[in-house]
Amino acid sequence: MIRDNDIKNTDFKFIDIGSMDTESIVRPSTSYWPDVWMRLRRNRLAMTCLTIIAVLTLLAIFAPILSDYEYDATNLSKANLPPCAEHWFGTDSVGRDLWTRVWVGARVSLMVGLVGAIIPFVIGTIVGAIAGWFGGWIDMIIMRIIDVGLCIPSMIYVILIILYLGGGAKSLIVAMAIMGWMGSARGFRARVLQFKNREFALAAKTLGASPKRIVFRHILPNILGNIAVGLASFIPSVIFMEAGLSFIGLGIAPPMTSLGQLASDGAGKYRTFFYQFAIPSLVISIIIFAFFMFGNCLRDSLDPKLRDQMLINGRRGRKDMAGKKVSADE
Amino acid sequence: MRRYIVRRFFISVVTVWTIATVCFFLLRLLPGNPFLSTTIMKQDMVDKMMRYYGLDKPLWQQYITYMGNLLRGDFGYSLKYAGRSVNYVIKSTFPTSAQLGMQALFFGIPTGTLLGIISAKRRGKELDYAFNALSVIGISVPSFIIAALLQYILGLKLGWFPVAQWKSFSHTILPTLTLSFGIIASHCRSMRTLMLEVDQQDYLKTARAKGLGETRIVFFHQIRNAIIPMITGLGTEIAGLLMGSYVVEKIFSIPGMGSYFVTSIQGLDYTMVLGLVVFQGTFVVFANFLVDILYVIVDPRIRIS
Amino acid sequence: MSKHLLEVKDLYVSFDTYAGEVQAVRGVDFTLDGGETLAIVGESGCGKSVTVQTIMKLNPEPPSRIKGGSILYRGEELINKTNREMQAYRGKEFSMIFQDSMTSLNPTMRVGRQISEAILKHRKMDRKEAKKLAVEMLAKVGLPNPDKCYRQYPHTLSGGMRQRVMIAMALSCEPAILLADEPTTALDVTTQAQILELMKEIKERTGTSIILITHNLGVVSRMADRIAIMYAGKIVERGLPDDIFYRPKHPYTWGLLGSMPDMSLRTDRKLTSIPGTPPDLFAPPEGCAFASRCPYCMHVCLKHEPPVFDMSEEHQSACWLIDSRAEMVVPPLGEDKTLRVKGRGGHVV
């Protein structure tokens, strides 16, 4: 409770309102991306994942260079050695140094994952923007192609590409590009449609902005978060897929190697040489885990309440269709 | 409603036709001759084979013959094994793959969904963390690694189940567990997210404001709304599982369609690959067709249009 | 034993967010008697929704947290009740109408079932009776074809119809208090009038007390028996409608009235706006929360929170201008041009 004598009569003088800043905001204002970055940095899990990704990438780049062994140099007299001072991860059945092979494999896996995720995303974004912005018959044709394309099991694409281009990292990336763009195009189109008729886009239009400007300056920044999240969650699934394909013998062929190929090679020998299975399995699981969790954290920090994420399997597109029908009823 | 079904059906048929056509031409136009790749044959022998399989005819004639056969339900034949038809292969391998897929589905989807619901209701508690950890492992660890671990622990160390082969029900346990692990993980995760999303909705607040008990809210208001978006992904998932998992079938030496598929590809048996691709494509397309109809039934908002 | 039906005393509610504590409600007092309509008026984010949702304990904890105060319903303390105990009150003693009827009804459940499940929970009725009552309620709120409506899904109804359904649902268990959180904001102007008329009619017929939350003073004039003006988590002025409309004492109330179009003949009056934005409740200012936007701001306002001055039994205002040491100010609005009530001024409560 305020005691009356705390307050002097002079306190009851008016303040000149002109001298006061009525619009002042107490909280420091942050713009969107610094805010996201701040939230991400505070998230310990996100930072751990980012560190893991960075460390593994550095190892994948430099470990094979610094190693004394070539990844494909065989030495039958030193076959199946368990991890020791000379061979940190041991050697495989033909005496190749597994430390070198694991990091060469990680290099391939990471490259397939990154390139195989980025290319379809870029293609998908452009195609989705075209379909969403222009609408009409362009949209119709693109969407029908995607409808049909998404119905074809992903394995079929991979097989066709491998039959045409042969095995190896290059054809895996091409296969990922050919089947991956459709999901992201569909998601991106739905987003463009969602924002196309929002007031800010209409305002830009009435001011005479070109379609390109509206899409890239006004709509894209709004969707960038979703794209980043979609990309971050697509990378691990590409790595995952590569591992599966290498396992059934359709991916990377020896003597070149990838983590999936190493792990599947070891999977047949886990009874006798457990380390040959455990080490590559652990590395690949950690990579997938780190990318996956980082994607999740990124989504959380982009918008703590972000409801809809861009789903790669096109679930998003259908949900939107349902949503559109609802509004058409009213 | 009837118009919607007819329309969707028509689209599905067109999709299947497109898949068959595209794959037909892509596989026929592959460089090289299938008979030259493996064994050394004399030229007249090759010509004879080409004539026998009708490969010497113009491409459009082959296409018409193929589509005609397809309409009669004939998926083609093998180039490598004389007299073995795609239909025979499907008949002998599909039941195995389908059984494994069904077992994994019936175990995995309800379990995953249930774990997701529990996780969402116990948000931030120990159980939530435990299920989260489980699903993160399921998502980050490739299935052949999980399979190998299960074989090692449950098969070799504990000796509870046979490690490989496909003979009795106990043989099916390990592959089923392997397959369902991933299903449980992904369904647990997405169900948890969806439940938490619905938890934020205003109508849940209305339900609480009515004084309903938490159990009733969860069962009658939350789960139904949370499950609807999950249905869309179901078609592709179910179809994919019934078609057989290449990886799991290989690691457990199961004579399913997946492993047969891989063998055909490695053996460059183009006609067999084409037949299996068209069969799988058809299956996926019609699974999606059924799911689309189910979706309309479950979600009243799209029923009228 | 309190003589009031509902008594909220010194209520503090905060939200713990990742950026810190948001003090949404900072010491709110009010009472509600049987058959009375109390209107709580304020800008968005002033804590009015949080206040009423706290009465029903509908704010999820965490992030929300009741920091202090008491909520007495028929003399019984609700603050310490568990969620399970509150279920007996929700729907039965209090019920609530939300702003957006589109999102407030479960999209996958038929309208009728959403009403009857509340009846089944609180009244001793079987399914058939509950259904009959639900249809009756739908008819009572003026829905044509209540039988058909019972079987419909929410998205097939118009906004006004949905809001009627909400009202039918809220009233189905004959609650003692109806909490209406901006019930007409999302509606067309013509529908707004219908819904308000309906609420007024129902109040007269059933004797239900209503707490009406709105940011629209126009809505209030038709409905309210008493009005509380809320700003930045506090009630800054309260009184009978005549007090608020004709003898307002708080500059914020003047601002609100000044921004409201007046249909009387005084066409010369210009609409005014309140400059600035409400304070950030992460860090509420030390003195009066309205000081930075107040055209009559004094040095004292920045240092000390104003006490509550009694104008009359029903009319209170928290503003330093009323203090006897302040200069006389002629309010820009209202009929009573003297701000200070002679003889009462300077009385610190």
Helix, strand, coil: what percent of chain B each, to 5? Answer: 75, 0, 20
Rounded to the nearest angstrom, the minimum Cα separation between C224 and chain A is: 32
Do residue A25 and residue C280 have CB atoms under 8 angstroms apart? yes
Do residue C118 and residue B203 have CB atoms under 8 angstroms apart? no
State both tokens at C322. 């009323």
**Which domains are assigned to chain C?**
6-224 (3.40.50.300), 230-322 (no CATH)
Mean of pLDDT values over A249-255 = 73
Task: Give the number of domains in chain B.
Answer: 2
The one-letter amino acid code at C113 reads: R
Does B191 lie in the same domain as B67? no
What residues in A contact C296, CB-CB < 8 Å? 14
pLDDT at residue A20 above 60? no
Whole-number pLDDT of residue A319: 32
Does B133 lie in the same domain as B39? no
Does B49 lie in the same domain as B17? yes
Under a CB-based contact definition with an 8 Å cutoff, are residues B226 and B196 in contact? no
What residues in C contact A307, CB-CB < 8 Å? none
Q: A48-72 burial by CB neighbour count: b if 16+ within 10 A, else e? A: ebbebbeebeebbeebbeebebebe
B299 domain-assigned: no
Does B135 lie in the same domain as B215? yes
* Dist CA A247 CA C343 (whole Å): 92
Pick among B21, B25, B145 to test the A interface (most A CBs inside 10 A): B145
Name the residue among C237, C228, C245 with its Cα closest to residue C309.
C237
Q: Cα dihedral sign for B12, B13, B18, B21?
A: positive
Pick from A4, A9, A27: which is nearest to C280 by CB?
Answer: A27
State both tokens at B26. 């892509």
Whole-number pLDDT of residue A30: 59
Per-residue pLDDT band at A16 (split at 50, 70, 90):
low
B146 domain-assigned: yes
Q: Which CATH number characterizes residue B185's domain?
A: 1.10.3720.10
* Dist CA C100 CA B205 (whole Å): 12
B187 domain-assigned: yes
Do residue A23 and residue C302 have CB atoms under 8 angstroms apart? no
* Dist CA A63 CA B161 (whole Å): 41
At residue A70, the 3 state secondary structure works out as coil
State both tokens at B276. 């299996």
Pick from C58, C117, C153: which is nearest to B209 by CB?
Answer: C58
pLDDT at residue C134 above 70? yes
Q: Give Cβ neighbours of residue B13 (< 8 Å, ≥ 6 apart).
A: none
Largest CA distance in chain A: 99
**Which domains are assigned to chain A?**
33-324 (1.10.3720.10)
Does B172 lie in the same domain as B27? no
Name the average pLDDT for chain A.
75
Does B250 lie in the same domain as B223? yes
B95 domain-assigned: yes
* Dist CA C35 CA A251 (whole Å): 77
Whole-number pLDDT of residue B304: 46
Q: C142-164 burial by CB neighbour count: b if 16+ within 10 A, else e? A: bbeebeebbebbbbbbebbbbbb
Q: Quick count: other Cβ atoms within 10 Å of Cβ C17?
A: 12
B179 domain-assigned: yes
pLDDT at residue C348 above 70? no
Rounded to the nearest angstrom, the minimum Cα separation between A2 and chain C is: 8
Per-residue pLDDT band at C343 (split at 50, 70, 90):
very low
Please check whether residue C60 touches A, CB under 8 A: no
Does B71 lie in the same domain as B15? yes
What residues in B contact A325, CB-CB < 8 Å? 301-302, 305
Name the residue among C177, A315, C313 with its Cα closest to residue B237.
A315
Please check whether residue A16 touches C, CB under 8 A: no
State both tokens at C179. 């909490």
Does B188 lie in the same domain as B102? yes
**ipTM value of the model?**
0.77
Does B207 lie in the same domain as B115? yes
B301 domain-assigned: no
Whole-number pLDDT of residue C340: 46
Going from the C-alpha of C320 to that of each of B291, C22, C251, C340, the distances in angstroms are 67, 26, 10, 11
- pLDDT tens by residue, A282-322: 888 888 888 888 888 887 777 654 433 333 223 333 333 33
Name the average pLDDT for chain C.
79
Structural domain boundaries, residue B196: 89-255
What are the average pLDDT values for consecutive 10-residue runs of chain B, which has 305 residues? Answer: 84 86 81 57 69 75 85 80 80 88 91 91 84 86 84 80 76 87 89 85 85 84 85 80 81 84 78 84 85 80 56
* Dist CA C347 CA C349 (whole Å): 6
Whole-number pLDDT of residue A321: 32
Whole-number pLDDT of residue A309: 32
Does B137 lie in the same domain as B97? yes
| C283 or B206, higher pLDDT | B206
At residue A177, the 3 state secondary structure works out as helix
Strand partners, B222: none
Which DSSP symbol is given to A143? H
Pick from A148, A267, A281: which is nearest to B15 by CB?
Answer: A148
Does B149 lie in the same domain as B101? yes
Give the range with max mean pLDDT: A191-200, B40-49, C233-242.
Answer: C233-242
Per-residue pLDDT band at C32 (split at 50, 70, 90):
confident
Does B146 lie in the same domain as B39? no
Do residue B209 and residue C166 have CB atoms under 8 angstroms apart? no
Helix (H) or strand (E) holding C234: strand C234-239
Pick from C155, C299, C327: which is nearest to A326 by CB?
Answer: C155
pTM, to two decimals: 0.78
B105 domain-assigned: yes
B292 domain-assigned: no
What residues in C contact B208, CB-CB < 8 Å? 58, 90
Mean of pLDDT values over C83-91 = 82
* Dist CA B236 CA C98 (whole Å): 39
